[in-house]
Amino acid sequence: EPAREEEGAASEAEVLQVCGEAGDVVLLHPWLVHGGTSNRAATPRVLVNGMARVTAEAFAAHGVRSLALLSAPPPSRSGEASAGCASSAGLAACSAGEPCPAGELRASLGEPSKRPPDEALLLPPPKRPSVASAESLAAEVARLGAAAEGRPRDVDPSLPRVSLVVPAHNAAWCLDEALASVLAQTYRGPLEVSIFDDGSSDGTRALIEAWIPRLRAARVDCVASGSRWGGDAHAEAGGIGFAKNRAVAQSSGSLLAFLDADDVMLPRRVELQVAALSASPRSLVGGAWRRWPDGATAHHEAWAHSLDEEGLWLHQFRETTVQMPTWAMARATFDAVGGFEEVPAEDLLFFHAHLDRAARAERPLLRVGSREEPLLLYRWTASSMTSTVDRRTLLQAPPAAVERGVL
């Protein structure tokens, strides 16, 4: 933590976690330090992540100010290269394996006494396009779903059958919105909703049972079960991977599309992903998404949508480059991996297992849509599973994948 002039004053940055074991060396090279997602935290976070990929332009614009949150670097000794470099030219030289210009980082940061005031060190959130809010999009989907209720869909049996895989745990507060978004879909092929209730103790089961005839009235097949539905009223929740595996096992579609119980699909989600899978059947197809509420993880949202198809592949060791709530794939792809490991971070482990088996020429990763035209409203809450998984768990999988696939 940086030293402060006032005795006992709160620090302006907090070290949340450094992963590793005793004796490991932590690299604080400028390229490996980034701001992470905002998650609406009151305290700015500086994360050290060896898998971070930061362009020279991004670092030149933002990296030096982020680094100023840390303690000042030691003075450069004559003739030695500094630990990092601030200019695009200097970074380009570093990336080419050439020595970084000595003293450039310190010159950019300035002496501690000449640093800008604290408020100038905090980077503003990335600017978002002027588009409809997530709340207004959710309201429109709800309207379309209500209009479609009770009206049988015109189903084309020649199109692929798609199973929407919905794991649910204590989801009575949100499941209405997710299932209403099924009725709003524009896809005209056979649709099935497969829901597994994972040990819920609220009204999830009653809500699912109420929805089954409503879905079937619209010619959407529905299959549902639960860990407490067979007579064991005290069965423990098995976790997200467990629930997804059970939902897939009871489904019948040749294509699978995953939908978390607290998310909402935009109307063309299934239609566009089926089209992508028809052209590239071995792909894991993600979709563009909008955080709900808006801006909840603005930096992560901007990064995820900045990746083109090549970037989806090249950034695979950083984290999942297509986010799980938007996944669609052929059942054959799911079966080839063997389903989800029933442990935390099951999506990350599946992602790497899929890429272990895929050739880049087969286009293993695709994404459909854009930030301006998302396929899914991806809800964020403080209790979301992706927010509570231990960082060490998340950071163990990428190095293991590097060992398997690269080393």
Q: What is the pLDDT of residues 347-376, one digit of tens each?
A: 999 999 999 998 888 899 999 999 999 999
Name the one residue in this structure whose structure tokens are 């293993």.
364
Rounded average pLDDT over 73-96: 37
> How does pLDDT run across 154-197, given as a tens digit for each residue?
999 999 999 999 999 999 999 999 999 999 999 999 999 999 99
| Order of all β-strands in the sheet with 289-292 | 264-265, 376-379, 289-292
**In this predicted model, which residue has the larger pLDDT, 10 or 309?**
309
**pLDDT at residue 88, as a whole number:** 36
Q: Sorting pLDDT into bands at 50, 70 and 90, what band is 315? A: very high
> How does pLDDT run across 232-255, given as a tens digit for each residue?
888 999 999 999 999 999 999 999
**pLDDT at residue 28, as a whole number:** 54
Query: Is the sign of the CA dihedral 288, 290, 291, 294 positive or negative?
Result: positive
Q: What tokens were used for 149?
A: 């209720």
C-alpha 407/C-alpha 402 separation (Å) is 6
Q: Sorting pLDDT into bands at 50, 70 and 90, what band is 396? A: confident
Strand, coil or helix: 357? helix
* 320 neighbors 348 (Cβ within 8 angstroms): yes
